[in-house]
Amino acid sequence: MQDSSLTIRPATPADDEQIALHFYQMWLDNQVPAEQIRPDWQAVTLAFLATARDQLGYQGYIASLDEDIVGSVGCQVFSGLYPFLISQDQRHYGYIWGVYVEAAYRRQGFGRQLTEVAVEYLRLQHCTHAILHASPWGKPVYEQIGFTPSNEMRLEL
């Protein structure tokens, strides 16, 4: 059941510490042991946000219920892993990352709403596709929105 008092607003640089904390907590919630996370995680995330905002059209969003921040999401133009030779009107990817909802507020549709806001932002940036990597818990939410389930080929070295 969704609470009508949920608000989602664009994040500002003043929200970056909250977004960084949510990103850190997301990794912990996905069973990554704290000792495997860099001790400078906050500085690394804050530097990334500043660069992504400046160079990749990054936009974060904050979800609040009354006065409490309950979640966040980030999205940006995907910068690619290799040179993009295909014209932008055919292949201009957006990337959604860091979808996070505080544990007490999960299973109420807030993650879906955050993702939908990020998708709309990427549409306005003329992206042709939105990409994200889903946790096992998020995958059903993204499939309901219309994301195609896919597999990433990986070889452990």
Contacts of 108 (CB under 8 A, 6+ apart): 1, 2, 3
Q: Is residue 1 in a domain?
A: no
Q: Is residue 43 in a domain?
A: yes
Containing structural domain, residue 81: 6-145
Q: Is residue 151 in a domain?
A: no
Mean pLDDT for all residues in the chain: 92
Q: Is residue 87 in a domain?
A: yes
Q: Is the predicted pLDDT of residue 2 greater than 60, yes or no?
A: no
Q: Is the predicted pLDDT of residue 16 greater than 70, yes or no?
A: yes
Q: Is residue 112 in a domain?
A: yes
Domain count, the chain: 1
Q: Is residue 157 in a domain?
A: no
Q: Is residue 99 in a domain?
A: yes
CATH code, domain carrying 133: 3.40.630.30
Torsion, CA 144, CA 80, CA 28, CA 44, rounded to 10: -140
pLDDT digits over 70-97, tens only? 999 999 999 888 887 887 888 889 999 9
